[in-house]
Amino acid sequence: MVFLDSRLRGNDKITIMRRIVVLTGAGMSAESGLKTFRDADGLWEGHDVMQVASPQGFATDPELVLEFYNQRRRQLLEVEPNAGHTALVKLEEKFDVQIITQNIDNLHEKAGSTNVLHLHGELLKVRSTVNHDLVMDWTKDLHLGDVGDDGHQLRPHIVWFGEMVPMLEPAIEITQTADILIIIGTSMQVYPAASLINYAANSVPIYFIDPRPTIGRSDYSNLTVMADTAAKGVPKLVNRLIDSAP
């Protein structure tokens, strides 16, 4: 497998790095101590997800929703990236790495990854309830009465159930450019994020890292499954890819 494409332009030699697109889900951050999505029983940290992750839930009990994300935000500020996060940073030494994450934490950025697209929003940001383009960095608790520059209540900058996913189109475009696709720590059951795999070219090698894999070679002939956690499986794969690069 060739990972670098060297071309001549005039007297200059240009090296073009191959692109690796990485799709990450809740399992990516689990070993850092975060639960970024609902458990198998349909609960997220003991709450019905529709109570804390839907426009209807926010309209019914905004204080409950704000405090739920306040707790998640406080927890995020206390945890650190794990070995899976740091391995992806190492991958940037040899490849053009583009990360698309379903997670709302900042652990990829905190580890040092430079190209991260958050499909479902970011916990350390808030936005106006009226003007969705009015987005602000936010690391403290958010309360009723906290307003943006437009005078309207602020809410978590999170994509809730029933809302549009504005970063989906950019994520599709990135996935279509992949030379290698790596999927880490996701059930592949949450749409539209789970559909991104179908936008990669048919010839693209796909690696799926998860302790309980939900897809296999019968689903994708170009798939390699690693039944491992992110903190263990990602460093193994990264070392393999780097060792095989020129």
Q: Is 105 annotated as a binding residue?
A: yes
Q: Is 153 annotated as a binding residue?
A: no
> Which tens digit of pLDDT belongs to each residue from 59-78?
999 999 999 999 999 999 99
What is the average pLDDT score of the chain? 89
Pick left, alpha or beta for residue 165 (phi over 0 → left; psi -120 to 50 → alpha; otherwise beta). beta
Q: Is 43 annotated as a binding residue?
A: yes
Q: Is 28 annotated as a binding residue?
A: yes
> Which tens digit of pLDDT belongs to each residue from 108-166?
999 999 999 999 999 999 999 999 999 999 999 999 999 999 999 999 999 999 999 99
Q: What is the pTM of this model?
A: 0.89
Residue 152 among the catalytic residues = no
- From 85, 108, 120, 157, the catalytic residue: 120
Tokens 């998640």 correspond to: 72
Domains with residue ranges and CATH for the chain: 1-34+81-120+164-246 (3.40.50.1220), 36-78+125-158 (3.30.1600.10)
> Which tens digit of pLDDT belongs to each residue from 159-215?
999 999 999 999 999 999 999 999 999 988 778 888 999 999 988 999 999 998 888
Q: Is 201 annotated as a binding residue?
A: no
Show contacts of 166-169: CB within 8 Å, 24+ apart.
167/117, 167/118, 167/119, 168/119, 168/192
Whether the pLDDT of residue 15 is over 90: the answer is no
pLDDT at 1: 28
CA dist 66 → 87, 104, 120, 127 (Å)? 33, 15, 17, 13
User: What distance in Å separates the CA atoms of residue 63 and residue 112, rounded to the nearest whole number?
Assistant: 34
Class of residue 180 by CB neighbours under 10 A (exposed 0-12, middle 13-18, buried 19+)? buried
Which token pair is 144?
């009723």
Q: Is 69 annotated as a binding residue?
A: yes
Tokens 């839907």 correspond to: 54
Looking at this protein, which amino acid is placed at residue 132?
H
Cβ-Cβ contacts under 8 Å for 202 (sequence gap 6 or more): 222
Give, for 21, the enclosing helix (H) or strand (E).
strand 19-24
Cβ-Cβ contacts under 8 Å for 58 (sequence gap 6 or more): 65, 155, 160
Which token pair is 241?
């890819």
> Which tens digit of pLDDT belongs to each residue from 27-62?
999 999 987 665 555 567 777 889 999 999 999 999
Tokens 């060739």 correspond to: 2
Nearest residue to 150 (alpha-carbon basis) of 172, 164, 133, 138: 133
pLDDT at 38: 55
User: What distance in Å separates the CA atoms of residue 97 and residue 114, rounded to the nearest whole number?
Assistant: 8
Which token pair is 98?
């583009």
User: What distance in Å separates the CA atoms of residue 115 and residue 107, rounded to the nearest whole number?
Assistant: 12
